[in-house]
Amino acid sequence: MESFFSKNYRTPEWLTKKFSRRKLLKSAAGASAIIAAPTIALSKENYPSAYQTALNKLEWQTLDSVFNHLFPSSESGPSAKDIQATFYLYLLVHEQPTAQDEIDFIYRGVGWLNSYTQSKQQVNFIELSLEEKETTLRAISRSEAGKNWLNMMILNLYEAMLSPPAYGGNPDGIGWKWINHQAGFPLPPEGKRYFELPTRSITPMKKAQIIESKDLTVSHSTLLRQGSKKA
């Protein structure tokens, strides 16, 4: 495949399963999110140097730009930047045990997106105006591959907003506060996230030994009958 518009593209099974989770996340976010309180205190961003270096590369600048366009700053709530969507995705790709097919699709989509804008406007996506970005994303959404790639980006936005902060997004629970959600307790700290827990092995049970038992009641009753003699 060389672009979003390849006629040979078919949605893979792993992506279909991933999108089934999106319905749950959308219901968790809920329509009430648009009326939640907009004033939330944010923690100071303190990203690792590897991530800061990644943001100097076109592929991550493009992903960051797409996130910021899909979930822009608003008076009604946090933005993609506020929920640290790009950092969440970076950890998903580089730290969590993410399937290689998913990682490859993310990067291929970036290449297809920039190839498309280069063919139309002779610049990369990050150099487009707000209106041009909107036109571009709507155009690629008309293809199956483009729609799937954008849906994946939206799913990652939901995950960044609703997952525990230890996974890179939702700093200080900003996403939970926005939708008035009370998170479970305790929250996983770094070092005890699901992919950092030791693997548990299940030892197969040995074949149970059958122990012969006696019915003591029956035995006792039989002895009484045998030993009792009436005068």
- 90-146 pLDDT, tens digit per residue, is 999 998 889 999 999 999 999 999 999 999 999 999 999 999 999 999 999 999 999
Burial label for 153, CB within 10 Å (0-12, 13-18, 19+), is: buried
Task: Identify the residue with better confidence: 25 or 68.
Answer: 68
Per-residue confidence (pLDDT) for residue 224, from 0 to 100: 42
Per-residue confidence (pLDDT) for residue 192, from 0 to 100: 53
Domain with 90 in it: 13-196
> What does the pLDDT look like over 213-222, one tens digit per residue?
555 555 444 4
| 38 occurs within a structural domain | yes
Task: Identify the residue with better confidence: 149 or 179.
Answer: 149
Instruction: Please give the tally of structural domains in the chain.
Output: 1
Q: Which residues contact 88 (CB under 8 A, 6 or more apart)?
A: 156, 159, 160, 163, 167, 168, 169, 170
Statement: residue 81 has pLDDT above 80 = yes
- Please tell me the least confidently modeled range out of 35-49, 73-87, 144-158: 35-49
| 148 occurs within a structural domain | yes
Q: What percent of the chain has pLDDT over 70?
A: 68
Per-residue confidence (pLDDT) for residue 230, from 0 to 100: 47
Per-residue confidence (pLDDT) for residue 40, from 0 to 100: 33
Name the nearest CA neighbour of 58 among 9, 110, 21, 119. Answer: 110
Phi-psi group of 141: left, alpha or beta (phi > 0 → left; psi -120 to 50 → alpha; rest → beta): alpha
**Which two tokens mark 165?**
């902060």
Statement: residue 206 has pLDDT above 80 = no
| 51 occurs within a structural domain | yes
Per-residue confidence (pLDDT) for residue 148, from 0 to 100: 96
| 222 occurs within a structural domain | no
Statement: residue 178 has pLDDT above 50 = yes
| 60 occurs within a structural domain | yes
Per-residue confidence (pLDDT) for residue 79, from 0 to 100: 94
| 27 occurs within a structural domain | yes
| 121 occurs within a structural domain | yes
| 136 occurs within a structural domain | yes
Can you give the pTM of this predicted structure? 0.72
Per-residue confidence (pLDDT) for residue 221, from 0 to 100: 45
- Please tell me the least confidently modeled range out of 9-18, 120-129, 187-196: 187-196
Q: What percent of the chain has pLDDT over 90?
A: 47
